[in-house]
Chains A and B, each alone.
Chain A
Amino acid sequence: SYELTQPLSVSVALGQTARITCGGNNIGSKSVHWYQQKPGQAPVLVIYRDSNRPSGIPERFAGSNSGNTATLTISRAQAGDEADYYCQVWDNTFFVFGPGTKVTVL
């Protein structure tokens, strides 16, 4: 089965840029989606199909995907961006989620 890898945690200073990676074999050939989950809340889709933002998601959230790594970039990080972030792909006949990355804003 297809596996995704993510760093366990990422720290970013307030106002700086955070980059969260999602690794997978030739992931660049797949569409990658990203979710933000705050404590006690359901996940929220923040990036779909590698680099597209749903309505209401700030432009500070951006995505890219190439080779074996997809990346979620959060620019001008705010305290409210502190959350767990999950990448997700569709592989043949099932959905796969990454293990999640906890983002801490310092």
Chain B
Amino acid sequence: QLQLQESGPGLVKPSETLSLTCTVSGGSISTSSYYWGWIRQPPGKGLEWIGSIYYSGSTYYNPSLKSRVTISVDTSKNQFSLKLSSVTAADTAVFYCARSGVDTPMVDAFDIWGQGTMVPVSS
């Protein structure tokens, strides 16, 4: 059974870069059938898609965050990562990694999610 697990520092200072990694277990990240994405949720607010990556390295990002976001993939480790630069308190959120289908019945839906990790931005 495929599982996703986020990991990263528990606290980031303003103006620094937030870095998170999602480890995929129970299946390979190197499949043509899925994209791998990051979604965030500020406390008490809704879901916001950050960006997604294909195993080949092809990416697409939320235009509102694009200038500060980099998503990369390491197929040898079955992981993909998120970097969000120049963070402020407004970037404080729970960050989720999730899988979305490309040529599956659940195309463009996020069918498997990690448990999420809270990242406060504070000095």
Contacts and interface: CB of A to CB of B under 8 A. Distances in A.
A97 B96 CA distance: 14
Contacts of A95: 37, 49, 52, 62, 100, 108, 110
A13 interface: no
Nearest to B47: A97
Interface string A68-106: 000000000000000000101110011111111000000
Contact of A48 (B111, B114, B115): B111
A33 B114 contact: no
Interface residues of A, number: 26
A97 B49 contact: yes
Interface in B13-66: 37, 39, 46-49, 52, 60-63
B49 A33 contact: no
Give the secondary structure class of A's interface.
Answer: strand
A42 B49 contact: no
Given A42-B96, A96-B49, A88 B110 contact: yes
A64 interface: no
Contacts, number: 68
Contact of B46 (A33, A44, A86, A89): A86
B109 interface: yes
A58 interface: no
A35 B63 CA distance: 23
30 contacts: A1-B63, A31-B109, A33-B106, A35-B47, A35-B110, A42-B96, A42-B113, A42-B115, A43-B96, A44-B113, A45-B106, A45-B109, A45-B110, A48-B105, A48-B111, A49-B107, A49-B109, A52-B105, A94-B49, A94-B62, A95-B37, A95-B49, A95-B52, A95-B62, A95-B100, A95-B110, A96-B49, A97-B46, A97-B48, A100-B47
Given A54-B111, A86-B46, 15 more contacts: A42-B116, A43-B110, A43-B113, A48-B111, A49-B105, A86-B47, A88-B110, A89-B108, A94-B62, A95-B37, A95-B49, A95-B100, A97-B46, A97-B48, A98-B46
- Sorted from nearest, which 6 A-B pairs have the closest CB atoms? A90-B108, A95-B49, A33-B109, A42-B113, A48-B109, A97-B47
